[in-house]
Amino acid sequence: MYNGHQMTDTSKIQEVRAVLTERLNTLKNKQDILKSVELKALYEELKGLPAEDKGAYGKAVNDLRMELTTAAQAGLAEANELPFIDVTAPFDANVKQKPRPLGPEAGSVHPLMKEQDLIIDIFNRMGFVTIESRQIDDDYHMFESLNFPADHPARDDYDTFTTTEGFIAPAHTSTMQNRVLKMYKENLAKGEPIAVLYPGRVYRNEDIDVTHEHTFYQYEGMVVGKGINVGNLIATLRAFMSEYFGQELKAKLQPFYFPFTEPSFEFAIERPEILRKGDTEADMWLELLGCGMVHPNVLKMAGVDPEVYSGFAWGGGLERLVLMKYGIEDIRHFEAAKLDFLRQFS
Ligand code: DAH
């Protein structure tokens, strides 16, 4: 049966097929071919056809749609087989000759971590165990367990960052004291002392300048046992400093205040030879850290009886030691990820 109308329309479908098949090659997103105006026009046309023509014409248009769908999916699969391009690669991923990846020998230990390792090593040889301090904490460990009464003005000296849920980026490693005491108090029952070093990273809401950073490190430690006294505190810290600076050093204590120690001190050493540049007698002493005898309330809150046991603790800034040792002029270099600075220590 000859049907002029249907003949014309079928040839139109052929025409659209040719146009769309060619366009498919140029499309980035192959699926877009199914949204093309030409295909839509064919469906529009279908609506206006007399009922007897609709069946055959509709089938032909649907066949074309199926064909394009399959072709689009094949194109998609092909695109997926293309070599994977790492858009974060620090080189042009399309060049043939790929640069060699950097080997581990290209990196180096950060100067602060190098120095921290040295400090850990000295205290380990003195019988201390080491645990790293935490970088997120709570009010109990930051203040309460350290004998800071609520609303006590001393809290203002430790202004740091808090989350909306009330977690705290610790302003000092002393947040570990309560944990360390609880963790090791079985030692005491066995007649052994607690001797723990807990270095780590701390945070403060500081106005940043050459000597102040919002992020820095402390090396803190504690010794608790029967009959531990201020003499043990001086001897331990003096032995550490002498070993660290490679020279027998004089030390002295100056009175200070911390809520978690009683009495509290500032520990100073005579300026080591390597740091002397014809200094006057006035700046012969270097104040290096805070320390004291652990407050009875701090012991009590960790379940250690202050009537039986006593101890000392200290906390010092790691950067201060490293700045002095290497004559670095700006504390901000440490966290700046400047390669030309870091390479000097590799
Ligand atoms: N946490 C003090 C600070 O950052 C330093 C300190 C003082 C630590 C006395 C101690 C200590 O363990 O006993 O300023």
25-29, 124-128, 235-239, 301-305: range with lowest mean pLDDT: 25-29
Residue with CA nearest ligand 1 atom 6: 315
> What distance in angstroms lies between residue 267's CA and the mean position of ligand 1's atoms?
11
> What distance in angstroms lies between residue 295's CA and the mean position of ligand 1's atoms?
12
Instruction: State the average pLDDT over residues 213-240.
Output: 97
Assess whether 69 and 155 both reside in one domain: no
Q: How confident is the model at residue 205 (pLDDT cuts 50, 70, 90)?
A: very high
> What distance in angstroms lies between residue 326's CA and the mean position of ligand 1's atoms?
25
Q: Write down the pLDDT at residue 227.
A: 97
Q: Write down the pLDDT at residue 269.
A: 93
The residue range of the domain holding 263 is 111-345
Domain end: 59, 80, 101, which one?
80
How would you write the chain as a 3-class SS string?
Answer: CCCHHHHHHHHHHHHHHHHHHHHHHHCCCHHHHHHCHHHHHHHHHHHCCCHHHHHHHHHHHHHHHHHHHHHHHHHHHHHHCCCCCCCCCCCCCCCCCCCCCCCHHHCCCCHHHHHHHHHHHHHHHCCCEECCCCCCECHHHHCHHHCCCCCCHHHHHHCCCECCCCCECCCCHHHHHHHHHHHHHHHHHCCCCEEEECCEEEECCCCCECCECCEEEEEEEEEEECCCCHHHHHHHHHHHHHHHHCCCCCEEEEEECCCCEEEEEEEEEECCHHHCCCCCHHHCEEEEEEEEEECHHHHHHCCCCCCCCEEEEEEEEHHHHHHHHHCCCCHHHCCCCCHHHHHHHC
Does a structural domain hold residue 325? yes
Does a structural domain hold residue 319? yes
The letter for the amino acid at 124 is N
Q: Write down the pLDDT at residue 306.
A: 98
Q: Write down the pLDDT at residue 281.
A: 61
Assess whether 66 and 148 both reside in one domain: no
> What distance in angstroms lies between residue 50's CA and the mean position of ligand 1's atoms?
92
Q: Is the pLDDT of residue 275 over 70?
A: yes
Does a structural domain hold residue 169? yes
Q: What is the CATH number of the domain that holds 150?
A: 3.30.930.10
Q: Write down the pLDDT at residue 279.
A: 61
Q: Is the pLDDT of residue 75 over 80?
A: no
Q: Write down the pLDDT at residue 79.
A: 64
What is the share, in percent, of the chain residues with pLDDT greater than 70?
Answer: 91
The answer to pTM > 0.85 is: no
Counting from 1 in the atom list of ligand 1, the atom nearest the Cα of 172 is 4
Counting from 1 in the atom list of ligand 1, the atom nearest the Cα of 173 is 1
Residue with CA nearest ligand 1 atom 4: 172
Domain end: 36, 61, 80, which one?
80
Assess whether 204 and 150 both reside in one domain: yes
Counting from 1 in the atom list of ligand 1, the atom nearest the Cα of 157 is 14
Q: Is the pLDDT of residue 233 over 90?
A: yes
Q: Write down the pLDDT at residue 53.
A: 85
Does a structural domain hold residue 42? yes
Residue with CA nearest ligand 1 atom 9: 291
The more confidently predicted of residues 212 and 278 is 212
131-135, 192-196, 272-276: range with lowest mean pLDDT: 272-276
Assess whether 66 and 142 both reside in one domain: no
pLDDT digits (tens, 9 = 90+) for 1-24: 444 454 445 788 889 999 998 888
Show the ligand 1 pocket: residues with CB < 6 angstroms: 172, 174, 220, 258, 261, 290-292, 313-315
pLDDT digits (tens, 9 = 90+) for 38-52: 999 999 988 888 888
Counting from 1 in the atom list of ligand 1, the atom nearest the Cα of 316 is 5
Q: Write down the pLDDT at residue 94.
A: 66
> What distance in angstroms lies between residue 29's CA and the mean position of ligand 1's atoms?
62
Does a structural domain hold residue 104? no
Q: Which among 254, 314, 318, 320 is the best mutation to test ligand 1's pocket, defined by most ligand atoms within 8 Å of the CB?
A: 314
In the block, which residue shows the tokens 């290209």? Answer: 106
22-31, 124-133, 219-228: range with lowest mean pLDDT: 22-31
Q: Write down the pLDDT at residue 93.
A: 66
> What distance in angstroms lies between residue 317's CA and the mean position of ligand 1's atoms?
10
Number of domains in the chain: 2
> What distance in angstroms lies between residue 99's CA and the mean position of ligand 1's atoms?
49
Residue with CA nearest ligand 1 atom 7: 290
Q: Write down the pLDDT at residue 4.
A: 45
Q: Is the pLDDT of residue 251 over 70?
A: yes
> What distance in angstroms lies between residue 261's CA and the mean position of ligand 1's atoms?
8
Assess whether 309 and 170 both reside in one domain: yes
pLDDT digits (tens, 9 = 90+) for 95-106: 777 777 777 777
Does a structural domain hold residue 281? yes
Q: Write down the pLDDT at residue 172.
A: 97
Assess whether 220 and 294 both reside in one domain: yes
Does a structural domain hold residue 320? yes
Interacting residues of 197 by C-beta distance below 8 A, sequence separation 6+: 119, 120, 123, 124, 128, 129, 130, 131, 219, 220, 221
Q: Which among 174, 203, 224, 236 is the best mutation to test ligand 1's pocket, defined by most ligand atoms within 8 Å of the CB?
A: 174
> What distance in angstroms lies between residue 257's CA and the mean position of ligand 1's atoms?
10
Instruction: State the average pLDDT over residues 127-150.
Output: 96
Q: Write down the pLDDT at residue 338.
A: 86
Assess whether 25 and 142 both reside in one domain: no
Instruction: State the Cα–Cα distance between residues 298 and 312, nearest whole angstrom.
Output: 11
Assess whether 176 and 53 both reside in one domain: no
Does a structural domain hold residue 85? no
Assess whether 45 and 169 both reside in one domain: no
Assess whether 147 and 285 both reside in one domain: yes
The mean pLDDT value of the chain amounts to: 89
Instruction: State the average pLDDT over residues 66-83.
Output: 78
Assess whether 133 and 183 both reside in one domain: yes
Assess whether 51 and 135 both reside in one domain: no
pLDDT digits (tens, 9 = 90+) for 152-192: 888 989 999 999 999 999 999 999 999 999 999 999 999 99
